[in-house]
Amino acid sequence: MSKINRTRKGCKDVFNSFLVSNAYYNGVYEFPVISSCTEIPQKIIPFSHCISFKDHNCWVHFYEDDYLFERLWRNPKKYLPILQQYNGVILPDWSLYRDMPFVMQLWNIYRSRAIGAYFQTNGIKVIPNVRFGDRRTYHCCCDGLPQQSVIAVGTHGTLKNLSDKEIFIEGLEAIVEELKPTAIIVYGSCPDSLFRKYKDMGITIHHFESEFGKAMKKHKEVI
């Protein structure tokens, strides 16, 4: 691990470098290091609801369209006191599409980790969201993350077609092998055929249905 931060006087902080002013870095791409977490959320809400939500006895997640939480990156200090009211945060899930240039995939991993380092410095408990894009990201997306800790993954939109499903299965195998998590928070579909082997390995799986899935259930009930 390394720490390479320094202050540059007179420069406007257009890169949000203050987020990592106390961070250490790990891996060839020097992603900010995230400390381990052992807590399991009992209830989660999307970031877009957290400003007006009255019950703070829950965790905030970012499994929603990027535009709904891009404002967090534009003004992290504004949302810090809001998020500090909650039990914790599952780190931002900026998109990593396989047809994105590799550098953009790395940038979105970095942004999530930078926000995470900032939250932890300011007393917020965080669970790393492990998002991977193409096969090049399988291992680097684990850089800076703790082993034998709780992690989170989102499955919404990753299991519908064969190629997406293959990438997700491969990527999940790679991160489990590398991080050896004690528990996995799964947001979205959680088929037993995919997660049973991890349960058999002693990893606890905690499933939260997606907002889309809840809406579909309600629609079917109405019909």
Whole-number pLDDT of residue 219: 46
pLDDT of 7 reads 61
Within a domain: 122: yes
The 8-class DSSP code of residue 207 comes to E
13 touches 25 (CB < 8 A): no
Are the C-beta atoms of residues 184 and 153 closer than 8 Å to each other?
yes
Measured distance CA(20)–CA(180) in Å, rounded: 26
> What six digits make up the tokens of 74?
């534009």
Q: Is 139 exposed, middle or buried (0-12, 13-18, 19+ CB in 10 A)?
A: middle
In a domain, 3, yes or no: no
Whether 161 is in a domain gets the answer yes
* Contacts for 7 with CB less than 8 Å, ≥ 6 apart: 21
| pLDDT at 210 (0 to 100) | 84
* 5 assigned to some structural domain: no
Determine the pLDDT at residue 217: 61
Q: Whole-model pTM?
A: 0.92
Among candidates 178, 180, 158, which has minimal Cα distance to 169?
158
Cα 79 to Cα 15, 72, 84, 218, distances in angstroms = 17, 7, 9, 31
DSSP 97-118: -TTS-HHHHHHHHHHHHHHHHH
87 in a structural domain = yes
* pLDDT score, position 161: 87
CA distance 25 to 103: 18
Spans in the chain with pLDDT lower than 50: 219
The model's pLDDT over 35-93, given as tens digits with 9 standing for 90+, comes to: 999 999 999 999 999 999 999 999 999 999 999 999 999 999 999 999 999 999 999 99
- Structural domain containing residue 73: 25-222
Q: Residue 95 domain-assigned?
A: yes
Domain count, the chain: 1
Helix (H) or strand (E) holding 98: none
In a domain, 1, yes or no: no
- The sign of the torsion formed by the CA atoms of 111, 114, 116, 122 equals negative
Which pLDDT score is estimated for 160?
Answer: 83
Judge whether 56 and 151 are in contact, CB under 8 Å: no
Predicted local distance difference test score (pLDDT) of residue 117: 98
CATH of the domain at 54: 3.20.20
Q: Phi and psi dihedrals of 183, rounded to 5?
A: -155, 150
Is 80 inside any structural domain? Answer: yes
- Write the CB contacts of 204 (distance below 8 Å, at least 6 apart in sequence): 40, 182, 183, 184
